[in-house]
C-alpha cells in the first residue's frame, strides 16, 4: 500500500491524470484513429518518396515535399506504435526509459522540421506565383532541406534529458528539469509563431494570383497563350495543394500542440473535459501525416500521373 502511494505521489504529471480521467471509449477511438493514420500514412508517404525518386529533374518544391514525406514516415514508424503502447498502458509494463526519450526526440524533431519545411515551400510557391520561377535551384532546396533536418535534430535532442519513464512506467517529462523544459518549449513556440506567420503572409499575398488562373501571356500567338495558361494553371493547382497542406498542418499540429503546451504549463488538475481535450490535441497531429498524400493525389494532376506511370512500368516489367 505504501509503495502504491509513493508511486502515485511521484506520478503527478499530465500523462497520469490524462490517462486516468479520459473516458475509455475516447481512448479507444484515438487508438483506432492512430492505427488508421499509420495504415493510410505509411504507404501514402512511401509512395510520395518513391514517386520523387523517379523524377529525373526534380524542382525545389519537389525536394521540400520529399523531406516532408520523410518526416511523416519517421514520425509514423516511431511515434505511432509508441502512442498506442502508452494509451493501452502496455508501455508501463516493459518499455525502457531510453525509448521514451527517443520517442519525444523524434516527435519534436519531425514537428520542427515539418514546420520549417512548410515555411520554405510557402516562400518558394510565392515566388512561383509572382515571378513564374522558383527562387532557388533544386540543388539549393535539397541542401536547405538537409540543413533543416540536422538543425531540427539538434533542437529536438534536449528530449533525451527532459523525458523518461516515471516510477510506475509513464513516459513523460522529468519534473526535476522543469526550468530547462520551459526554455526548450519557449524556443519551440517561437519557431511555431515565426514560421506560421511567414507561411500565412506568403499565401495571403498570392491570393489575387490564385484567382487569376487564365491570365493571358504577352504575345499574339494562340499556341503560346494556350501553353502559358496550361502551365500557369498547373502551377496554381500545385500552390493550392501545398497551401492546403499548410492549413491542415496548422490546425492539426501547430495550433493543438501550442494549446497543449499552454495547458500543461498552467494547471494539470483542470477536470475531465480539459484533460480529454488535451489528450486529444496531443494526438491530433497524426491527421497531418496521412492527409498530405491524399491531398497530393486529390489536387495535383502531376502527382497522379506519376503514380499511374510508376505502377504501369511495374506491371510491364
In a domain, residue 80? The reply is yes
CATH assignment of the domain containing 105: 1.20.1070.10
Query: H/E element holding 103?
Result: helix 97-131
pTM of the model: 0.82
Residues 42, 77: contact at Cβ < 8 Å? Answer: yes
d(Cα 184, Cα 173) in Å, to the nearest integer?
12
282 has pLDDT over 80: no
In a domain, residue 3? The reply is no
230 has pLDDT over 70: no
d(Cα 125, Cα 202) in Å, to the nearest integer?
8
In a domain, residue 183? The reply is yes
Q: Which residue is listed with cell 497531429?
A: 285
Residues 45, 294: contact at Cβ < 8 Å? Answer: no
In a domain, residue 8? The reply is no
Q: With H, G, I as helix, E, B as strand and everything else as coil, classify residue 165.
A: strand
**Which stretch, 207-216, 262-271, 304-313, has highest mean pLDDT?**
304-313
In a domain, residue 6? The reply is no
Domain limits at 189?
A: 18-308
d(Cα 228, Cα 239) in Å, to the nearest integer?
16
pLDDT of amino acid 115: 92
Conformational region of residue 89, where left means phi above 0, alpha means psi within -120 to 50, and beta covers everything else: left
Count structural domains, the chain.
Answer: 1
In a domain, residue 152? The reply is yes
Mind listing the pLDDT tens digit for each residue in 60-87? 999 999 999 999 999 999 989 988 888 8
In a domain, residue 9? The reply is no
CA atoms within 13 A on the CB side of 6: 4
Residues 71, 249: contact at Cβ < 8 Å? Answer: no
Mind listing the pLDDT tens digit for each residue in 110-126? 989 999 999 999 999 99
In a domain, residue 314? The reply is no
Cα–Cα distance list, 163 to 141, 177, 259 (Å): 33, 9, 20
Amino acid at each position: 500500500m505504501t509503495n502504491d502511494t509513493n508511486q502515485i505521489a511521484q506520478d503527478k504529471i499530465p500523462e497520469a491524470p490524462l490517462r486516468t480521467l479520459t473516458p475509455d471509449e475516447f481512448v479507444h477511438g484515438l487508438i483506432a484513429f492512430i492505427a488508421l493514420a499509420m495504415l493510410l500514412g505509411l504507404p501514402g508517404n512511401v509512395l510520395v518518396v518513391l514517386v520523387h525518386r523517379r523524377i529525373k529533374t526534380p524542382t525545389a518544391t519537389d525536394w521540400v515535399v520529399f523531406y516532408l514525406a520523410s518526416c511523416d514516415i519517421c514520425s509514423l514508424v516511431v511515434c505511432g506504435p509508441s502512442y498506442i503502447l502508452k494509451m493501452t498502458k502496455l508501455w508501463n509494463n516493459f518499455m525502457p526509459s531510453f525509448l521514451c526519450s527517443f520517442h519525444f526526440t523524434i516527435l519534436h524533431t519531425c514537428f520542427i522540421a515539418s514546420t520549417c519545411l512548410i515555411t520554405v515551400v510557402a516562400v518558394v510557391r510565392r515566388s512561383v506565383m509572382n515571378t513564374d520561377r522558383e527562387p532557388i535551384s533544386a540543388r539549393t532546396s535539397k541542401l536547405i532541406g538537409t540543413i533543416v533536418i540536422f538543425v531540427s535534430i539538434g533542437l529536438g535532442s534536449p528530449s533525451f534529458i527532459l523525458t523518461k519513464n516515471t516510477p510506475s512506467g509513464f513516459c513523460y517529462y522529468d519534473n526535476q528539469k522543469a526550468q530547462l523544459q520551459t526554455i526548450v518549449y519557449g524556443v519551440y513556440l517561437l519557431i511555431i509563431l515565426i514560421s506560421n506567420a511567414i507561411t500565412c503572409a506568403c499565401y495571403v499575398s498570392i491570393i489575387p494570383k490564385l484567382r487569376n488562373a487564365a491570365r493571358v501571356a504577352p504575345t499574339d500567338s494562340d499556341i503560346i497563350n494556350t501553353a502559358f495558361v496550361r502551365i500557369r494553371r498547373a502551377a496554381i493547382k500545385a500552390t493550392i495543394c501545398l497551401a492546403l497542406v499548410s492549413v491542415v498542418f496548422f490546425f492539426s499540429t501547430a495550433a493543438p500542440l501550442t494549446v497543449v503546451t499552454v495547458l500543461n504549463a498552467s494547471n494539470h488538475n483542470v477536470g475531465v473535459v480539459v484533460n480529454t481535450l488535451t489528450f486529444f490535441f496531443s494526438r491530433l497531429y497524426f491527421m497531418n501525416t496521412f492527409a498530405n498524400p491524399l491531398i497530393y493525389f486529390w489536387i495535383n494532376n502531376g502527382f497522379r500521373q506519376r503514380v499511374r506511370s510508376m505502377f504501369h512500368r511495374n506491371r510491364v516489367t
